[in-house]
Copies of this chain bind each other. A is one copy, B any other.
Amino acid sequence: MANLEIRTDGSARQTPPNDAALRQVNDPQSQVVRFPADAPLRLDSGREIAPLTIAYQTYGKLNAGKSNAILICHALTGDQHVANEHPVTHKGGWWSTIVGPGKPIDTDRFFVICANILGGCMGSTGPASPNPATGKPYGVEFPVITIGDMVNAQARLIDHLGIDRLFSVIGGSMGGMQVLQWCARYKERVFTAMPIATAPWHTAQNIAFHEVGRQAVMADPDWQGGSYYGTEARPSRGLAVARMAAHITYLSEKALQDKFGRGLQNRDAHSFSFDADFKIESYLRHQGSTFVDRFDANSYLYITRAMDYFDLEAEYGGKLANAFTGTKTQFCVVSFTSDWLYPTRDNKEIVKALNGVAANVSFVEIESDKGHDAFLLHEEEFFATVRGFLNAAAKKLGIA
């Protein structure tokens, strides 16, 4: 893998493309469904995407009644590799803590599906995919998409798998936004839903952090107006800066202080230079440089844009409850006390709206000092909540 070394002398201009990551765009190591050119996906913007490819992973077995399917929706920088070795990083799946045989999302019992989102870079159609009009990668010719578009694309996959109703739709962060959008657009198709550490709309501060990241990418001359594919350069420095800024928002102030504090990295005293003296600096640089090895900068632009556009209240006439009118879905909303990206306050807005339509909803605020990323970690109370909620609902449906 190509490693981006962020140098202080400003000399490092170019980073060789990461072949392992680029290969996933057109030839992903996962299952794939391709919808032909004559079956376009109509987008919220009015534009269309065709052909449409969805790359996905499944775990466990679909039962005869097709009643045990769980769709997991991934977050901004996640992908379909929930519980298997990642083909680029060779690390474990991003949610293998909670998804697997005997785990809270039990693949011995449930058929778990996760699709790379529309706009992603791990095999589903996105800005790095070939634009049928030119034969070259879309770049910024890719249409701006929404969370709703992602969900519509997922619904195509669920149709393809012959599943009428999902036992559950589960996701954290942007995954939670997709969960909410599923429950709004496909009411009859969602038996239970777990929106986790999420929000019904992006706040000004949420948008602000994303805009910093986008400007960092677009300020990098190697971005080349989005047409860097096929050149020797990629906007790795800009994307690394974007990732570093975002990463701060994923952790609580306390988590950063407990983990790094003012600790020095491999030294006893300040260097009186711009080296990574502090552990936190070294950690952030590492987060930036490993991220660019696996993620496409244009995908980052499009996905953050989709999140910023997300506003379920505005979409449903200025009243969030309208999104859930008539819902029969059983909801479990989960937030984490130290999450300042999508704080409990935002999650409670979802609960309030669901109560407004007398929906079946439980709400759990998990005590954690780990910040937003707590939903990715082994948090006992969270795991018990997921297990308990799914078990009770499975019992109702008679899932063995």
Question: Does A240 reach chain B (CB closer than 8 Å)?
Answer: yes
Separation in Å of the A391 CB from the closest CB of chain B? Answer: 36
Q: Which residues of B contact A301 (CB under 8 A)?
A: 274
Number of copies: 2
Asked if A224 and B10 make an inter-chain contact with CB atoms under 8 angstroms apart, the answer reads yes
Question: CB-nearest residue of chain B relative to A301?
Answer: B274
Other-chain residue from B216, B259, B262 in contact with A216 (beta carbon distance below 8 A): B216
Q: Which residues of B contact A379 (CB under 8 A)?
A: none
Asked if B240 and A10 make an inter-chain contact with CB atoms under 8 angstroms apart, the answer reads no
Q: Which residues of B contact A212 (CB under 8 A)?
A: 241, 244-245, 248, 284
| A:296-324 near B, CB below 8 Å | 301, 305, 308-309, 311, 314
Asked if A314 and B10 make an inter-chain contact with CB atoms under 8 angstroms apart, the answer reads no
Q: Which residues of B contact A189 (CB under 8 A)?
A: none
Q: How far is the CA of A219 from the CA of B240 in the complex (A)?
A: 9
- From A63-71, A128-136, A157-165, A201-209, the one touching the partner chain is A201-209
Q: A212-B245, A215-B6, A256-B204 are in contact. Are A225 and B11 (CB under 8 A)?
A: yes
Q: A208-B284, A274-B305, A278-B207 are in contact. Are A218 and B8 (CB under 8 A)?
A: yes
Q: How far is the CA of A154 from the CA of B309 in the complex (A)?
A: 49
Asked if A285 and B221 make an inter-chain contact with CB atoms under 8 angstroms apart, the answer reads no
Separation in Å of the A320 CB from the closest CB of chain B? Answer: 13
Q: Which residues of B contact A349 (CB under 8 A)?
A: none
Asked if B6 and A262 make an inter-chain contact with CB atoms under 8 angstroms apart, the answer reads no
Asked if A203 and B256 make an inter-chain contact with CB atoms under 8 angstroms apart, the answer reads yes
Question: Does A78 reach chain B (CB closer than 8 Å)?
Answer: no
Separation in Å of the A371 CB from the closest CB of chain B? Answer: 10
Question: Does A211 reach chain B (CB closer than 8 Å)?
Answer: yes
Q: Contact mask A135-159 → B, CB, 8 Å, 1/0? A: 0000010011000000000000000
| A:233-247 near B, CB below 8 Å | 237-238, 240-241, 244-245
Question: Does A92 reach chain B (CB closer than 8 Å)?
Answer: no
Q: Which residues of B contact A262 (CB under 8 A)?
A: 201-204, 207, 311, 314
Question: CB-nearest residue of chain B relative to A216?
Answer: B241
Asked if A220 and B219 make an inter-chain contact with CB atoms under 8 angstroms apart, the answer reads yes
Interface of A is mostly: helix
Q: How far is the CA of A346 from the CA of B224 in the complex (A)?
A: 43
Q: Which residues of B contact A266 (CB under 8 A)?
A: none
Asked if B278 and A308 make an inter-chain contact with CB atoms under 8 angstroms apart, the answer reads yes
Q: Which residues of B contact A226 (CB under 8 A)?
A: 10
Asked if B253 and A218 make an inter-chain contact with CB atoms under 8 angstroms apart, the answer reads no
Q: How far is the CA of A360 from the CA of B248 in the complex (A)?
A: 38
Separation in Å of the A245 CB from the closest CB of chain B? Answer: 5
Question: Does A214 reach chain B (CB closer than 8 Å)?
Answer: yes
Asked if A215 and B272 make an inter-chain contact with CB atoms under 8 angstroms apart, the answer reads no
Q: How far is the CA of A218 from the CA of B276 in the complex (A)?
A: 13
Separation in Å of the A17 CB from the closest CB of chain B? Answer: 17
Q: How far is the CA of A270 from the CA of B144 in the complex (A)?
A: 10
Supply 10 A–B pairs (Cβ within 8 Å), ascending by A.
A7-B218, A144-B274, A207-B278, A208-B248, A208-B284, A211-B278, A216-B219, A219-B241, A245-B245, A274-B305
- Top-8 shortest CB links A-B: A219-B237, A204-B256, A144-B272, A10-B225, A45-B272, A204-B260, A204-B280, A9-B225
Interface contacts beyond A144-B274, A211-B278, A216-B216: sample of 13 additional A-B pairs, CB < 8 Å, sorted by A: A6-B215, A10-B221, A10-B224, A10-B226, A202-B262, A204-B253, A204-B260, A207-B280, A208-B256, A208-B281, A212-B241, A215-B285, A216-B241
